Amino acid sequence: MYAAFPPNDHVWWLAPISLGLLYAAMTVGRPSVRSCAGSGLVFGLAFFVPLLPWIGEYVGALPWLALATVMAAYTALFGAVAAVTMRLPFRPVWFALSWVAIEAVRSAFPFGGFPWGRTAFSQVDGLYLPLTSVIGAPGVAGVIALTGASAVALIVRLVGDRPALRSWTAAVALAALVLPLGAGAVLAATGSPFTSKSGETNVVAVQGNVPRLGLDFSSQRRAVLDNHVRETLTMAAQVNDGTRKQPDLVLWPENAADTPPTIYPDAAESIRAAVTAARAPIAFGTWIPIAGGDGAGTTNSILLWGEHGGYADAEPSGRYDKHIVQPFGEYLPWRSFFRLFSSYADSAGDFKPGTGPAVLTVPARNGDVVMGIATCWEVAFDRAAQQSMREGAQFLFVPTNNATFGETDMTYQQLAMSRVRAVETGRSVVVAATSGVSALVSPDGSLIASSGIFTPDLLQADLELRTGQTLAVRFGAWPQRLVVLLTAGAFLYVLRRRISLDMFTGRRGPVMEKEHDGQQAS
């Protein structure tokens, strides 16, 4: 499963294979709940430990290994739940539903959840990716789990019981293998049938880079802001000499204004100079203290600074405050407890979640453009991008800052999420990162352009604007919630009926004896 994820390219097919192998480990012989939970734990450790070392890049191995262990506990929970629900007919279906349900739980609890490593994020080069516009990221995870489990079930029937090939279970297993890939191929060829093109806008994503690696990347006052101003002035000079097209909008990343222009007049003056030179609005990330004095906290904000008549406005014309703030980074839950385990605990910020719309309206030369925003951590959550689409976003902006994770795989894993969001929403996506990877993504999830890491860059393209809502956006979280309820209901039903359940010994119960031996249950 780890090998299916970026930066490993074009090995998306390892995801269904990995879950098929997990299904085999949990169904061969007469496994108990305890043995299935153990299989899930081993699977989780083998996946999350190599996936998440970026967590400890500058703070040591303890947070990395602790988080990987907690995530593995969720896959152990999956093993226990699936062991019970798979006592019902057609085990691959219950295996897949249980997988989706536990992914939903770990993406929501505790502290808002940790959606990193969701199965759908492995599919940026895969045949399952187009399905995201219809069934969303949870649905893709379920299809992958069902495909892997069905393949194993079919192989077992082929090898062990040829007459059983004529049974309905074999037919369902075969359909689970073929239909998703066929539907994905059709959607890939035809594009999203639920959205329509509404125009184009020329966008430049500016990657200014940071002065140093590490947690203190912004400790040199104004260095990050100056880098982005410098790159924007370079872009403006290229426009003036005819080597670059005039943009409609310039996008800087999260934390690009390391000194907030709402506090520091010199920062505001530099941003006005950049807007005037670019002759286009600039959206950029900064932090803003919450009114109320010391202790009120701050917001992680995106400001839109417009221009009229070739000159920058006096003040920002739009603001978005990040809705989903990152625990243990932007804020520290249970601060007095967690500071006992790490000297870096107090380095966490005191950011507060924002409220209100997740879109900004950008005045462009050919009419207003509605830009959706999902800042950094938010792109991992389905609801962030979906909210902006429901509010009329024509493309999605993902400002991010990955400088505190060094030269790790983190930025590539996060870029994969943005590519999945493009397909899920049927929108172009602009990823602007302080240090990389920045990217322009088309609505089908393919890369129009991308940058390297820890290098300045300018990415420009005519982005397709779209309107309408995909089925994934229209239905939102409701299908996933129904899966959670169905899985919980099946789990409780089996417990109540006591169908072949013995957590400690794996003994067969009376109903299972009847199924296997044709005997009357006592």
Give the active site residues: 254, 322, 376
Q: Taking a C-beta distance cutoff of 8 angstroms, is the pair 307, 275 a contact? A: yes
Do residues 398 and 235 make contact, with C-beta atoms less than 8 angstroms apart?
A: no
Six-digit token pair at 323?
């809705």
Task: For residues 396 and 45, give the distance between their C-alpha atoms in angstroms, rounded to a whole number.
Answer: 34
| Sheet of strand 196-207: strand arrangement | 318-321, 298-305, 282-289, 249-251, 196-207, 457-467
Query: In a 10 Å sphere around its CB, with 0-12 CB exposed, 13-18 middle and 19+ buried, how is residue 326 labelled?
Result: buried
DSSP letters for 152-175: HHHHHHHHH-GGGGGSHHHHHHHH
- Which residue from 133, 169, 54, 156 is spatially nearest to 412, judged by alpha carbons? 54
Tokens of 118: 């969701």
Give whole-number Cα distances, 38 to 67, 100, 117, 138, in Å.
18, 19, 20, 24
CA–CA dist 287, 271 (Å, integer):
15
Sheet holding 439-441, edge to edge: 359-364, 367-373, 395-400, 429-433, 439-441, 447-450
SS3 397: strand
Q: How far is CA 134 from CA 365, 372, 506, in A?
A: 34, 20, 40
**8 Å CB contact between 400 and 432:** yes
- 3-state SS of 105-142 is HHCCCCCCCCCCCCHHHHCCCCCCHHHHHHHHHHHHHH
**Is beta strand 249-251 parallel, antiparallel or unpaired with respect to 196-207?**
parallel
How many other CB atoms sit within 10 Å of the CB of residue 102? 22
* CA distances in angstroms from 151 to 21, 100, 118, 230, 267, listed in the order given: 10, 18, 21, 55, 59
